[in-house]
Structure formats: structure tokens, C-alpha cells
Amino acid sequence: MSTQHGNKVYFQVLLDPARALLLTQKASDKGVKATALAREAIYQWLATTTDPSLINAAETMDKALWKQSVQNRIAGKRLKKTTSID
């Protein structure tokens, strides 16, 4: 089951304790969070099991969505700055 979290999709994954410990240790060795390492592993798996044109299209859409989200934040900050009363 998944839910929306802004522009992202939130998945909850339950791992068995020993393998969760392995993931945590690997992430610590790499200096990243376990969730970031798991996300990267999923993206790599998708890249190896999905048609490259589909992966490229998905990456392009994700990058465009991210860019739009950044632009929206910038526009929001500008608007707040121009309408704020000091």
C-alpha cells in the first residue's frame, strides 16, 4: 500500500530484524541513511529489469517535477517577501 507525500509516493516496508541490521550497517559504512540506500537499491533494480526507454522517461518526468517544485518554492518565497510588512 502506498500514499502520496507531496510529489513523492510513500511506501512502508517491513524488514526482518537481521536483514534490517545488515541494511543499517551497510548504510552506515556508506555514510547514508538506510532509507536512502534502500531507495537507491530499488532504483537500480528497476533500471536492470525495465526497458531503458521507460526508465529514461520516468527519470525525465521526475526531474521535471522536481524542477517545478523548486520553482514553486522560489515563487512562494518571492511572493511572501513582497507582501510581508516589516
Angstrom distance (rounded) from CA 41 to CA 35: 10
Q: Express each pLDDT in 8-57 by its tens digit.
A: 899 999 999 999 999 999 999 999 999 999 999 999 999 999 999 999 99
Angstrom distance (rounded) from CA 10 to CA 39: 11
pLDDT for the residue 84: 74
Q: Express each pLDDT in 55-74 by its tens digit.
A: 999 999 999 999 999 998 89
pLDDT for the residue 5: 83
pTM of structure: 0.77
Angstrom distance (rounded) from CA 75 to CA 79: 6
Q: Are 75 and 83 in contact (CB under 8 A)?
A: no
The confidence band for 85, taking pLDDT boundaries of 50, 70 and 90, is low
Helix (H), strand (E) at residue 63: helix 52-83
pLDDT for the residue 66: 92
Most distant CA atoms of the chain, gap in Å: 56
What stretches of the chain adopt beta strand conformation (E)?
A: 2-5, 8-11
